[in-house]
Amino acid sequence: MKETKSLLAEKAKPLLSSLGKELCASEHYYYYRYHEMFSHSLTRLSFAACLSHYLDKEKLLAREEVAQEWLGVDMEEKPEGGFHLDLEDYLASLIMVSNELVRATLICYPTTK
């Protein structure tokens, strides 16, 4: 977990911060104009945080923890703009966590005849 958290802090946080500032610098609507381009990436980063934390602590991360502590983004949209973790992206990452846990269970479960 520590490796994943430090990797996200080292690589994802600065990138999301600078990209969010660029998209929202001139006009606020640019965030939603390009939202589909980075929505999947935010979902995958959120998934990595949630899965890593669950495997380490056996507890799910709250949306606020994923956004602020792991990704360094806001949980809700702010008037000045910037990245935020949409509820849909967070929920999609939780679905991906459950899918991954089921897949891992089926692979590890020995088949008997």
| 113 belongs to a structural domain | no
Please tell me the distance from the alpha carbon of residue 85 to that of residue 78, in angstroms, as a whole number: 11
- Domain tally for the chain? 1
Q: Which domain holds residue 60?
A: 2-108
Which residues does the chain have with pLDDT short of 70?
Answer: 1-2, 17, 19-31, 78-82, 111-113
Please tell me the distance from the alpha carbon of residue 33 to that of residue 98, in angstroms, as a whole number: 30
Residues 6+ apart with CB under 8 A from 66: 46, 49, 50, 85, 90, 93
pLDDT value, residue 55: 87
| 88 belongs to a structural domain | yes
| 78 belongs to a structural domain | yes
Around Cβ 109, how many Cβ atoms within 10 Å?
8
